[in-house]
Amino acid sequence: MPYAGDLTPQQAWELLASDESALLVDVRTDGEWRTIGVPVHDRASFVEWVTPAGPNPNFLDQLAESGLEPGDERPVIFLCRSGVRSVAAAHAATAAGFGPSYNVLHGFEGDVGPDGQRGHEGWQADGLPWRNL
């Protein structure tokens, strides 16, 4: 079963603004949250897709602890560094009955640009609210 689709960072922000039930889930690692920063929204949740030990075997349980229930049709917007892990998270969440589940294109800081650095696209580059931990 495919996930609901991809959203630009701005579209994700607009969905959060227009649907009070929508939840933003950052699936990056704790280390990324601490060194790169996190999105700021009162309905942001943080659940690692991958831990330092490998895939997070508790991902779906931790997602449920964020206030989601399978079948409740609450929009879930997944965000990672560049939009790859969040696709996998959206697929897993959809298969478990969460969602509709969306992926944020380009993630929090996007792919590596021609200068060898990230940050040219994504949540931060689009000027959406974020902060350092």
pTM, rounded to two decimals: 0.95
pLDDT tens sequence across 11-60: 999 999 999 999 999 999 999 999 999 999 999 999 999 998 899 999 99
β-pairing verdict for 101-104 and 76-79: parallel
CB 70 within 8 A of CB 96: yes
Q: What CATH architecture is 5-128?
A: 3-Layer(aba) Sandwich (3.40)
CB 28 within 8 A of CB 81: yes
CB 93 within 8 A of CB 3: yes
Distance CA 85, CA 12 (A): 16
74 exposure class (CB count in 10 Å sphere: 0-12, 13-18, 19+): middle
